[in-house]
Structure 1
Amino acid sequence: MTDARLGSIGVRAVTISASGHRGKLSLSTLSDPVPAEGEVLVDVAAAGVNRADLLQRAGQYPPPAGAPDWPGLEISGEIARVGSGVSSWHAGDPVIALLDGGGYAEQVTVRETQVLPAPRSVDRIDAAALPEALCTVWDNLVTVGRLRAGEWVLIHGGSGGVGSIAIQLAKALGARVATTAGGPGRAARCAELGADLAIDHRAQDVVEQVREATGGAGADVVLDILGAGSLRENVRALARGGRLVVIGLQQGRRGELDLGAVLAKRLTITGTTLRSRPAAEKAAVVAAVRTHVLPMVDDGRIRPVIHDRLPLADAERAHDLLESGDAFGKVLLLP
């Protein structure tokens, strides 16, 4: 691995070596990162583990140009140094950050525009569960999905790291929340997070449950992590003028779409990703989260949901946990 911003050898990070469809994770020692102009260097307290990391490991989600080639899209920690031109952050500031990659490490550099102050009300380690989820949920529910108070939103995968935050954020905005989870216990925990309707998708008909709860109208917004596997169901579950926002493809990339239903209901279907977007767009999302969402974290309306905290050397176990579907909320890695 080569990077002009790297100095002496001495930082541990989890790297990926190719091995069939699932690369091998290894704890490696790399050159010390050096912040470039407009960047800060962060001592990492914890890194969030996301499904995007699993995709990157499988060779299906390469990092954007210029990003480290090891995984990790969000961290919490403390600023160690600032690069030239940085005036908004100083050494010693406690922060969380949305990364282009490289979070599975003891230190990482990041653009100052993708850094947020660490929430005062959250443990500094657990705060690593927030940046990716807060930015993803705000951008897709509010900016793309145009969710408004009083509307119904269906959130697939309410027990996940993104889903658990989406439930809380939607409720804080005054929306009415339906969500899915696998099994009655997980559905009950989603209800505890604030969901008005928590559906056990293994035993209940999701569309039927949503229609019953909404008086037959359907959901105004659907936030979908499943992709092709839930496409037909989502179209049926949406109300007239409804908005489907697809942010994941856990159940496939290709599916059949009933365009007649799309036309008749005047539906909007949008697919988005965050990692590959231009720096200016990511900066705008982070700025919106700082203004609109961090106050909800500080006053306790939104809290990170943590399944487990593991040492950096146990990244393999962290990935297995996420892949198994047993995790409720986020898994964190601690350098």
Structure 2
Amino acid sequence: MATTKAWVLHAADPRAEATRGQLTLEQIPLRRPEAGEVLVEPRIGCWEANMEHAIARHPVDVARQRGEDRIVLGTCGVVRVLATGSGVSGLREGQECLWIPFGAIDENGYAERIAAYDAPGSPGLLSGRFVTAARLLLPLPEDSRYPAERWAPFARYFTAWDNWRVALRCWQAQGDDHWDEPPLVLGWGGGVVFAQLELARRAGFRTAMVSGRDSRLAGIAASGATPIDRREFPDLDHDAAKASGDPDALDRYADSRDRFVERVRELSGGRGASIFLDNLGGGLHRVTLRSLARESVLSTVGWKHGMRLSNMRAVECIGRHIHVHTHAWRFQDCRRIRDVQESTGWLPEITEPVASFDAIPQLADAYSRDVFDSYFPLYEVNA
């Protein structure tokens, strides 16, 4: 049987306490494409948060959950068609495509399992070649103006497009089209929020984004959004303050919170954020709620620092705050979003070097320590 090289993650020993996993370079079996399938080779991938979750085995050991001894990660990137099985049309050898990692799709077009993550038996981009269903390949536009590197982070942009579409419509449901001045869209998070704020600016909103890193603050400013330096408000995490045991911690939290809210009001003409894109949550959730305007939207598409949130229901009702929760995007919208990106140039600028395939473990380590300046860390599998 043919084989291909791959960085694999082994399931933890069920008899031992689960520890952080390690990627190992191995040869894995490679079968031929059957009817409706395509053999592809990954070109450029973008490191995703779900890859870190899998390696950290938090919140679950994904390999064990899938019932497999080893799995291959890599959910977002560009692949090249090598060969097609019978019954495949619209794809040709050498064609570059986005690989849509939907392992299972419900009747509405939403992913119930993600390939290269929690979908059993699914392949991943951290391999030299793999076989996939042809329907999961979305060809890049012929003679695209943009290189594969700028397309590789597409999942963040597809997710951003979907979440922004819902959040904007919810905000419009309560207000009218007349603005005395542009309402504020504020966000903290990563690449998804960065992409959403570009859509908000194009829709006429004033935008701002929070970061605690000089390089990212500079990138936020260059994009046209107002940068807010998180380091000016060092004690915004309510949960950390409450758990610290320090009798003064909650007072410091309240001071940071009040100064942050005042900053938001300065940027919004005293109203607060009309749409707050919060993909962090956790101990920052209270600050997010305090920063909202009346008739506003709190929208999230992630749960990086906390999967459980609480709020005062009466306050949210009186404030007429709509809470939006989405995940990924609808499968049937893939071509539409791709075409928007190609026609409008709504793609990321890639400013950092692309990691080599041999450097994948170092890339994984750097991501776990959050030392990247870019929101879109890329790696190359096949040149």
Common fold: TM-score over 0.5: yes
Inter-partner Cα distance in structure 1 for 2:332 and 2:167 = 14
Residue in 1 that maps onto 2:186: 154
Larger deviation, residues 144-153 vs 47-56: 144-153
Q: Secondary structure at the match of 2:222?
A: helix
| Equivalent position of 1:128 in the other structure | 152
CA contact (8 A) 1:137 1:166 kept: yes
- Using the TM superposition, give the Cα deviation of residue 324 of structure 1 relative to its aligned residue in structure 2, in angstroms: 2.0
In the alignment, the residues of structure 1 paired with residue 183 and residue 39 of structure 2 have an alpha-carbon distance, to the nearest angstrom, of: 41
One-letter amino acid matched to 1:153: V
Q: As a proportion of its length, which structure holds more strand?
A: 1
Whole-Å separation in 2 of the counterparts to 1:155 and 1:236:
14
Shift in CA distance, 74/213, structure 1 to aligned 2, threshold 3 Å = same
Identical columns (%): 25
Q: Across the two proteins, how many residue pairs are aligned to each other?
A: 315
Residue 272 of structure 1 corresponds to 326
Structural mapping, 1:245-264, within 5 Å: 245-264=299-318
From the superposition, tell whether residues 306 and 128 of structure 1 become closer, same or farther in structure 2 (CA, over 3 Å): farther
Is 1:199 aligned to residue 228 of structure 2? yes
Unaligned runs of 5+ in 1: 1-7, 275-280
Structure 1's 217 and 114: CA in aligned 2 closer, same or farther, altered over 3 A?
farther
- Following the alignment from structure 1 to structure 2, what is the Cα–Cα distance between the partners of residues 115 and 45? 13
**Alpha-carbon shift at residue 126 of structure 1 (Å):** 4.1
Moved more, 315-324 or 112-121: 112-121
Tell me, yes or no, if the aligned pair for 1:42 and 1:80 is still in contact at 8 Å.
Answer: yes
Residue 13 (structure 1) aligned with residue 15 (structure 2): no
Contact 1:244–1:268 (8 Å) recurs in 2? yes
What SS class does the counterpart of residue 273 from structure 1 fall into? coil
Deviation at 1:255, TM superposition (A): 3.6
Instruction: Compute the TM-score of the two structures, normalised by the length of structure 1.
Output: 0.83
**Superposed CA offset, 1:114-134 (max 9, x none):** 4333362222234312x2111
Residue pair 1:225, 1:249 contacting (<8 A) in 2 also: yes
Residue 49 (1) aligns with residue 94 (2)? no
Asked whether 1:296 is paired with 2:344, we answer yes
Aligned match of 2:129: 107
Instruction: Return the TM-score normalized by structure 2.
Output: 0.73
Aligned to 1:179: 209
The alpha-carbon deviation at position 179 of structure 1 amounts to: 0.7
Q: Which residue is 1:167 aligned to?
A: 197
How many angstroms does 1:310 deviate by? 1.2
The 1:151/1:81 distance shift into structure 2, 3 A limit, reads: farther
The structural deviation recorded for 1:137 is 0.4
Q: Which amino acid aligns with 1:156?
A: W
Q: CA distance change for structure 1 residues 306 and 65 in 2, over 3 Å: closer, same or farther?
A: farther
Distance in 1 (CA, whole Å) between partners of 2:262 and 2:34 is: 53
SS in 2 for 1:57: helix
CA deviation map 1:37-76 (0-9, x unaligned): 4443322111110111111222336389799932111111
The separation in 1 between residues aligned to 2:10 and 2:28, in whole angstroms, is 14
What is the CA-CA distance between 1:15 and the residue it aligns to?
0.9
Does the CA contact (< 8 Å) of 1:179 and 1:198 recur in 2?
Answer: yes
> Are residues 14 and 218 of structure 1, via their aligned partners in 2, closer, same or farther at CA, if it must alter by over 3 Å?
same
- Report the Cα offset of residue 214 of structure 1: 1.0
Matching residue's letter, 1:48: C
CA apart distance, 1:176 = 2.4
CA drift of 1:103 comes to 1.5
Whether contact under 8 Å (1:97, 1:114) holds in the other structure is yes
Does the aligned pair in 1 maintain the 2:184–2:267 contact within 8 Å? Answer: no
Determine the structure 1 residue equivalent to 2:377.
Answer: 331
- For residue 105 of structure 2, what is the aligned residue in structure 1? none
The structure having more radius of gyration, on CA atoms, is 2
Any conservation in 2 of the 1:145–1:244 contact (CA below 8 Å)?
no
Aligned equivalents of 2:40, 2:278: Cα separation in 1: 32
